[in-house]
Amino acid sequence: MQLQDILYSQGFGTRRVCAGLIQQGHVQVYEGNSALTPVECTQAAMEFEADGLRFRVQGEDWAYHEKAYLMLHKPAGTECSQKPSTWPSIYTLLPSPLRLRPNKASVQGVQAIGRLDQDTTGLLLLSDDGKFIHRMSSPRHHVPKVYEVTLKHALDDKQVQRLLAGVVLDDDPKPVRAAACEAVDSHHLRLTLTEGKYHQVKRMLAAVGNRVEGLHRSQIGGLTLPADLAPGQWRWLDEAALALIAG
């Protein structure tokens, strides 16, 4: 695969832009898995095996990924939208190559899998793999998501039982049930859901007579938000992490 095509596939711009980066000496390639120092490449048409390739563009190291799978620790005060209405977009937290990866869809780059409200924090997945996005988003697959909920009023056993039995939300006559519900303390609830409706956690707690004061998603499938991933930071998902998510 030509080097300019590799860079294009990773979101570094059009093929012409990628060729210019190479010709101007801004691209170096690590030759071999054990190489510690990259070698400068100035020929855009140079051929490389893409899988496993590591390279440096304008001083920053990258590795080739046919598809992008990411986790992001979403901070409060951000919107999961390419065109936010009030708050900054989560996409501004990502480097431009991830936002510009070519995509057959109308929107380029990685896409958030589901959305978290602007005041909700925690684990968010992003990808440019349409099949993966669909699988993780589809309610048929029942991917569990765990939320840490801070409550305004003290929690009681009756509220927990109602959440497990199912509550009716105003736009859907079918009861919505929690897959699991644990009272961590009087004002802290750990809630597991396998579907995602608009403002679901907040509306479920309102239906049992309580109110959400803080909301944090700590887990998707078997993947827990790493303690060392600070708000606003992102990380590639490796095969082990993907296996935890997919089950």
- The CATH number linked to 101 is 3.30.70.580
- pLDDT of residue 247 exceeding 70, the answer is no
- pLDDT of residue 108 exceeding 80, the answer is yes
- pLDDT of residue 210 exceeding 70, the answer is yes
Residue 169 and residue 195 share a domain: yes
Global confidence as pTM: 0.93
The per-residue pLDDT for 172 is: 76
The per-residue pLDDT for 195 is: 86
Residue 215 and residue 93 share a domain: no
The per-residue pLDDT for 196 is: 81
Residue 202 and residue 84 share a domain: no
Among the residue ranges 85-89, 101-105, 154-158, 215-219, the one predicted with the least confidence is 101-105
Query: Is 228 known to be catalytic?
Result: no
The active-site residue out of 5, 51, 61, 117 is 117
Residue 11 and residue 102 share a domain: no
The per-residue pLDDT for 179 is: 96
Residue 216 and residue 100 share a domain: no
- The CATH number linked to 32 is 3.10.290.10
Q: Where does the pLDDT of residue 145 fall: very low under 50, low under 70, confident under 90, or very high at 90 and above?
A: very high
Is residue 73 within 8 Å of residue 217, measured between CB atoms? no
Residue 213 and residue 148 share a domain: yes
Determine the structural domain holding residue 94 and report its residue range. 69-140+223-246
Residue 231 and residue 184 share a domain: no
* Per-residue pLDDT tens over the stretch 11-69: 999 999 999 999 999 999 998 877 889 999 999 999 999 999 999 999 999 999 999 99
The per-residue pLDDT for 180 is: 97
The per-residue pLDDT for 104 is: 77
- pLDDT of residue 230 exceeding 90, the answer is yes
Residue 201 and residue 95 share a domain: no
Among the residue ranges 81-90, 169-178, 198-207, 212-221, the one predicted with the least confidence is 169-178
- pLDDT above 90 as % of the chain: 83
* Per-residue pLDDT tens over the stretch 73-105: 999 999 999 998 899 999 999 999 999 999 877
Domain-ending residue, one of 63, 94, 110: 63
Residue 210 and residue 148 share a domain: yes
